Amino acid sequence: MRIYSNGEKHRTIAKEAVFKGIGLHTGNKCHLVFKPAPENSGVVFVRTDLRSRPCLPATYKFVSTVIRGTTLSVNGDKNHEARVHTVEHVLSALSCLGISNLIVEMNANEPPVADGSAMPFIETLLKAGLQEQDNMQNFFQPDPFEYKAGESAYVVEPADDLVIETTIDFNHPLVKNQSRLFHINQETYLKEIASSRTFCFDYEVEALKRQGLARGGSLDNAIVVGMDRIHTKEKSLRYADEFVRHKTLDLIGDLFLLGLPVKAKITASRVGHGHNVNLVRQLAAQMESIQEPALS
């Protein structure tokens, strides 16, 4: 395992960019403002609706819950917990664009869901322009290991780039078993992953709402899988295997929480946010055992 630089520079954005919408689970309206950030500051969410404007760094150390999404938490006003729900789609977009330093101001507790994919965030950030910074970006290449929990399994092997092979398996005739391997780079992500949308099964909807989830969900921003048909605003899937592509999108967003891009082949089966974050914690344990970065 090693930490090294391969000549790519840190990035932020050239100017502010705004995105508005409602949160997938909370249903709260959110005004999201992306702002340039200095080098070595990382990605930080800021709750501007709270008096103390608490900052929530986008790292695994601040993950509090992983129920149907990845949530970050810190102490907020009067020591009450300040949260930002469902950060994975925004972080996946940042990973695609190689943005390592960014301020994300929010006047609510969940980013907009947009259309359920990462593409609207990517388009907004590209309009703002990408700004290279002076310092070179470090990458982490881990030693091989496996993570298993129940029917979920992840195999990590060192590689020269990020390669993700994702497999999902649902006992449903319209989803079934799907598997895709991607060599992750900006071109592949934009063409094959970015537009894939979040999904759920129709029998889950009422249960999710009773749990206080999916309050902002609709056919405008999610795929609903019925017993004999797929329900979407567009009346069709964007890819025949859109479900496994979106699970890959989520995994890439959760991997961003490590703090460094990963150079590895990750073979992931029956993925989910809880397992994704546990994988990140294992990667972090390896990474933090390295005393000095090796530059090459």
Residues known to be catalytic = 273
Burial tier of 162 (Cβ tally within 10 Å: 0-12, 13-18, 19+): buried
Reduced to 3 states (helix: H, G, I; strand: E, B; else coil), residue 249 is helix
Cα–Cα distance for residue pair 222/69, rounded to 1 Å: 14
Residue 232 is encoded by which pair of tokens? 């979407």
Per the CB < 8 A criterion, the answer to whether 54 and 75 are in contact is yes
CA 225 to CA 172: how far, in whole Å?
A: 9
Which residues on neighbouring strands pair with residue 82, listed in sequence order? 74
Q: How many helices (H) and strands (E) does the chain have?
A: 6, 18
Distance between CA 25 and CA 19 in Å, rounded? 17
Q: Centre a 10 Å sphere on the Cβ of residue 183 and count the other Cβ atoms it contains.
A: 13
Contact 45, 58 (CB under 8 A): yes
